[in-house]
Structure 1
Amino acid sequence: MTTRDWFLIGLLGTIWGFSFIFNAILIREIGPLWVSGLRVSIGALGCWVAVLALRRPVPRDPVLWVKLGLLGVLAYALPFALFPLAQSHVASGVAAIVNALTPIVTVIVSHFWRDGEKATRYKLIGVAAGFSGAAFLALPSLAGGGASQLWAIGACLSATLCYALSLNITRSFRDVEPTVFAAIALTGSAVAVVPVALAAEGIPVITHAETWGAALALGLIATAFTFQIMYRILPRVGATNFSATTFIAPASAIIFGFLLLGEIIRPTHILGLLAIFVGLLMIDGRLPRWASARKRARAS
């Protein structure tokens, strides 16, 4: 990969880590459903601007629009609401660490998915390491009887399951141009979640400029902008190299959560993060390759 590609991967990981900070700011004034509603609505608008600017052809098949819209609910609307809901009870860094389990949960879903990629021995070891990391995250709640924190970690895990399911479903839409795909899916998310947010949480009342800033940044930068980069570099760098964003995002969320929000990260959170990172290295094959290379070096 080129230096430019690594820079873009680092940029995406940092922005996605910072999205948890935006969530934390938004939930001070609005509910989690409106966090999701604003993110997908603003993100959809940004993606449609990109579609028009790039002059991408838009499919006219209404069935395809419905399918992509429903996929958008699973891929965007639900997890974008679950994470801010969880952040009412856990720190931004903890939510980002659980989000790093997405590739690990995807391994499990893909193994049982029809025509999905079957898990290897190394991937299964990675899954075990990843979920041991989640157990480390839950330890403070178990010790202190924090049922709300356990529930919040479960909500984050549910969000990763949404991502894993949607990633497998997305394979059937590989012929749809990526920018158009994101625009239609985010539009479907907005159409679904905004009425629910209105019914459940009422009309949002935003009084602070930082809340509007967080909403715009979350929709335009952390969603519309990053999707344009992601869909362009993913075919070039490959899924394994792109997965490095999963390592960067939690670190970004932890650092900025500490510096900007005064959040406390316990030693068990760091242990959980390390265990998940080991699991990711096992799943993408880096750790076994490094071990094999060192073994050959010693033998020679």
Structure 2
Amino acid sequence: MKFGYWALIIGLGAVWGCSFMFNAVLIREISPLWVSAGRVTIGAAICWVYFAATRRTLPRDPKLYPQLLLLGILNYAIPFALFPFAEQHVASSLIGVINGLTPMTTVIISQFWPGGEKATWNKIIGVLIGFAGAMLLASPSFGTGGSTEIIALLAALLATCCYALTLNYARRFKGVDSATIASSSLTGAALVMIPIAFLFSGMPVITRVETWGALFGIGIFSTSFSFLLVYWLLPRVGATNLSLNTFITPISAILLGVLVLHEGFLPVHMAGILVIFLGLVFIDGRLVKGLRRAPA
């Protein structure tokens, strides 16, 4: 893969790491449902501005739009609510690390997806190591009545499964303009999430400047900018390579969580992170292959 693509994937991971800090700020005033609804609404609006400014036109195939709606629900509406829900009970830095399991869930789902990338021995080992690291992260909640924390971690893990599904599902849009995919799918997510948020959480009330800043930050940078880039990169680098931006996302989430939000961090959490990174190294495969060739 070209160096330029790697640079974009690294940048994408860093920007997505910021989203966990934004979530932590947002849930101080609004519900996870409104975090999702606000994020996709702002993201969709910015994408449509870009769409109009670059003089793009919408495809005429009516069958495309229900597929983009499904993409919006799975890739935006659901995980964008699950992550802030999890952060109500678990530190944002740890949820960012759980997001790092996306390559593991992608390997599993791709194995069974029609035409998906099949697992190799190093990817299988990487998945097993990665989930062992997730168990280490969750271990402080075991045996201490921390059922709420366990549920939160499972919610975050479910969000990574949504991402893994859509990384494979989105391959069907290979011939569709990336701005069309991002704009239409985010709009579909907004049309679903706004009435759901009103129904279950009522009218949101935002009184703090930092809440507005976090909302626009997550909507513009962690959503519209990021997903315009995702759909441009996906057909060029593949689902598994693209999911490797989660090497960077946990680092960004941890640094912001500890330095900006002053979240606690235990030694066992660091152990879990290192184990997950070891799993990512196996899934990536390049270092493993290099070590195998070295004796020759």
TM-score between the two structures when normalised by the length of structure 2 = 0.94
Alpha-carbon separation, structure 2, partners of 1:238 and 1:264: 36
Which residue is equivalent to 1:16?
16
1:214-253 paired onto structure 2 within 5 Å:
214-233=214-233, 242-253=242-253
Stretch moving more, 59-68 or 80-89:
59-68
Which residue is equivalent to 2:211?
211
Alpha-carbon separation, structure 1, partners of 2:159 and 2:117: 21
Which residue is equivalent to 1:199?
199
Which residue is equivalent to 1:139?
139
Quote the offset at 1:171 in angstroms.
1.6
Q: Look up the SS of the partner of 1:295 in the other structure.
A: coil
CA deviation vs aligned residue, 1:100-145 (integer Å, no higher than 9, x gap): 1111101111111222222121111011001001100110000422
Alpha-carbon separation, structure 2, partners of 1:3 and 1:59: 32
Q: Is 1:94 the counterpart of 2:94 in the alignment?
A: yes
Quote the offset at 1:260 in angstroms.
1.0
| One-letter amino acid of the counterpart of residue 66, structure 1 | P
Q: Quick one: percent identity of the two aligned structures?
A: 52
Q: Look up the SS of the partner of 1:265 in the other structure.
A: coil
Alpha-carbon separation, structure 2, partners of 1:185 and 1:294: 46
Cα 1:65–1:39, aligned 2, differ >3 Å: closer, same or farther? same
Quote the offset at 1:54 in angstroms.
1.5
CA deviation vs aligned residue, 1:149-200 (integer Å, no higher than 9, x gap): 1000000010011111111211222121111101100000000011000000
Stretch moving more, 223-232 or 37-46:
223-232
Which residue is equivalent to 2:32?
32
Alpha-carbon separation, structure 2, partners of 1:286 and 1:192: 41
Which residue is equivalent to 1:179?
179
Listed as ranges, the gaps of 5+ residues in structure 2 are none
Alpha-carbon separation, structure 1, partners of 2:220 and 2:231: 16
Which residue is equivalent to 1:123?
123
Listed as ranges, the gaps of 5+ residues in structure 1 are none
| One-letter amino acid of the counterpart of residue 272, structure 1 | G
Alpha-carbon separation, structure 2, partners of 1:238 and 1:170: 10
Q: Is 1:159 the counterpart of 2:179 in the alignment?
A: no
Stretch moving more, 46-55 or 227-236:
227-236
Stretch moving more, 118-127 or 228-237:
228-237
Alpha-carbon separation, structure 2, partners of 1:116 and 1:234: 13
Cα 1:242–1:170, aligned 2, differ >3 Å: closer, same or farther? closer
RMSD: 1.8
| One-letter amino acid of the counterpart of residue 103, structure 1 | P
Alpha-carbon separation, structure 2, partners of 1:43 and 1:65: 18
| One-letter amino acid of the counterpart of residue 193, structure 2 | V
| One-letter amino acid of the counterpart of residue 42, structure 1 | I
Alpha-carbon separation, structure 1, partners of 2:15 and 2:29: 22
Q: Is 1:148 the counterpart of 2:148 in the alignment?
A: yes
Which residue is equivalent to 2:294?
294
